[in-house]
């Protein structure tokens, strides 16, 4: 089993657990999932503004 499939399986399991009416949060390391998603989908982040000035100029 690869590292990515383990993280994804854990995330899906936590999403299923979060569907319980009395559950308030998702457990597990979401930072790890976020890092994995960023690492594997870096091309989708190309062109996004990173500097605060760039973001402000787009909003004006």
Q: Give the dihedral sign, CA 59/37/27/15.
A: positive
CA 54 – CA 28 distance, rounded (Å): 34
The pLDDT value recorded for residue 12 is 83
When divided into structural domains, the chain yields a total of: 1
The pLDDT value recorded for residue 50 is 65
| Domain that includes residue 33, residue range | 3-59
Residues 3-60: tens digit of each pLDDT: 778 878 887 888 888 788 887 777 667 777 677 777 777 666 566 666 666 667 767 6
Q: Which residues contact 17 (CB under 8 A, 6 or more apart)?
A: 23, 26, 27
Model pTM score: 0.40
């Amino acid at each position: 089993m690869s590292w990515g499939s383990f993280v994804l399986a854990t995330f899906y399991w936590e999403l299923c657990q979060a569907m319980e009416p009395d559950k308030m949060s998702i457990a597990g390391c979401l930072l790890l999932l976020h890092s994995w998603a960023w690492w594997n989908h870096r091309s989708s982040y190309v062109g996004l503004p990173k500097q605060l000035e760039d973001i402000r100029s787009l909003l004006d």
